[in-house]
């Protein structure tokens, strides 16, 4: 069972470069989201989606774009990388339901120099 | 605004002893869900336990139990019979609303170290 798959696992970018973090899930979950984890701050929600074609902003959306054309995929785009975006990024998915847990990918460690 | 507070940056416990990790939350919603996740040094997020706001009994999952005190807005994680493999970061999280949207609000975490 693959679950939630994130690629790449590690990435170094130069300031101003753009890139896309990939996230795919094979559990047919409706809900997907992106979080960033910074030291001492826990995980913070960047963007989320409640289904294909529907996305919305979370707590820290600036500098990131998302789209959801299929149920399975939810890529996160960094438009012009900045050192402040150095972080660990997690993608998560969950099913509809009252007690459904969020399943997380393995994370992507991004460094912007 | 919804908020999760974990006031213990670090905790130590001896192997085989029980330990309580504190979590308080703030929300004006009547319906919400509370979660605990474990993050070992390898970095993945592992779901441990869930408590719904309407659940009358405390949740339990093996050695994990959640001490849910709704009036005090606390959702403490109790780990019984600690093991060396329990050493990790532990995050308390709250889901806005009762049904999944993946909009989780996390606390800052507690680093638990289990010593022999």
At B97 the pLDDT is 62
3-class DSSP state of A111: strand
* Contact between chains at B47 and A97 (C-beta distance less than 8 A): no
At B98 the pLDDT is 54
At B61 the pLDDT is 96
At A40 the pLDDT is 81
Both structure tokens of A58: 């979370």
Whole-angstrom Cα distance, residue A22 to residue A6?
6
Mutate to test the interface with B, among A35, A45, A101 (most CBs of B within 10 A): A101
Contact between B92 and B4 (Cβ < 8 Å):
yes
What's the mean per-residue pLDDT of chain B?
93
Whole-angstrom Cα distance, residue B111 to residue B18?
15
At A63 the pLDDT is 96
To the nearest whole Å, the CA of B18 is away from the closest chain A CA by: 24
Location of structure tokens 């402040």 = A84
> A39-70: per-residue pLDDT in tens?
888 899 999 999 999 999 999 999 999 999 99
Mutate to test the interface with A, among B45, B47, B60, B107 (most CBs of A within 10 A): B45
Q: Which of A45, A90, A98 sits opposite B99 (nearest CB)?
A: A98
Mean pLDDT of A65-80: 97
Whole-angstrom Cα distance, residue B23 to residue B107?
8
Whole-angstrom Cα distance, residue A59 to residue A42?
13
Residue A98 CB contacts under 8 Å (≥ 6 apart), including other chains: B33, B52, B98, B99, B100
Q: Which residue ranges in chain B fall short of pLDDT 50?
A: none
If pLDDT is split at 50, 70 and 90, which confidence band does A37 have?
Answer: very high
Q: Are strands B10-14 and A76-78 parallel, antiparallel or unpaired?
A: unpaired
If pLDDT is split at 50, 70 and 90, which confidence band does A98 have?
Answer: low
Neighboring chain A residues of B4 at a CB cutoff of 8 Å: 42
Both structure tokens of A10: 């590690």
CA dist B78 → A42, B48, B56 (Å): 20, 11, 17
Contact between A79 and A64 (Cβ < 8 Å):
yes
3-class DSSP state of A106: coil
Q: Which of A88, A93, A99 sits opposite B50 (nearest CB)?
A: A99
Closest Cα in chain A to B36: A101
At A29 the pLDDT is 93
Contact between A46 and A23 (Cβ < 8 Å):
no
What's the mean per-residue pLDDT of chain A?
94
pLDDT exceeds 90 at position A96: no
3-class DSSP state of A107: coil
pLDDT exceeds 60 at position A78: yes
Does A25 touch chain B if contact means CB atoms closer than 8 Å? no
pLDDT exceeds 70 at position A1: no
At B103 the pLDDT is 85
Neighboring chain A residues of B93 at a CB cutoff of 8 Å: 43
* Contact between chains at A98 and B33 (C-beta distance less than 8 A): yes
Whole-angstrom Cα distance, residue A23 to residue A28?
13
């Amino acid at each position: 069972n693959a679950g939630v798959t994130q690629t790449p696992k590690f990435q170094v970018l130069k300031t101003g470069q753009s890139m896309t973090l990939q996230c795919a899930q094979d559990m047919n979950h409706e809900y997907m989201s992106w979080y960033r984890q910074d030291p001492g701050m826990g995980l913070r929600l960047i963007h989320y989606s409640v289904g294909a074609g529907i996305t919305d902003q979370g707590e820290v959306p600036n500098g990131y774009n998302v789209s959801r054309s299929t149920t399975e995929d939810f890529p996160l785009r960094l438009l012009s990388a900045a050192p402040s975006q150095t972080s660990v990024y997690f993608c998560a998915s969950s099913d509809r339901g009252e007690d459904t847990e969020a399943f997380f990918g393995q994370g992507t460690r991004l460094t912007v120099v | 605004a919804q908020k999760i507070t974990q006031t213990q940056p670090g905790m130590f416990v001896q192997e085989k002893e029980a330990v309580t990790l504190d979590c308080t939350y703030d929300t004006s919603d009547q319906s919400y869900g509370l979660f605990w996740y474990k993050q070992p040094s390898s970095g993945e997020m592992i779901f441990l336990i869930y408590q719904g706001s309407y659940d009358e009994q405390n949740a339990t999952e093996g050695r994990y139990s959640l001490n849910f005190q709704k009036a005090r807005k606390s959702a403490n994680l109790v780990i019984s019979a600690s093991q060396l493999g329990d050493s990790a970061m532990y995050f308390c999280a709250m889901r806005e609303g009762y049904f999944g949207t993946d909009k989780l609000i996390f606390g800052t975490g507690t680093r638990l170290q289990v010593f022999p």
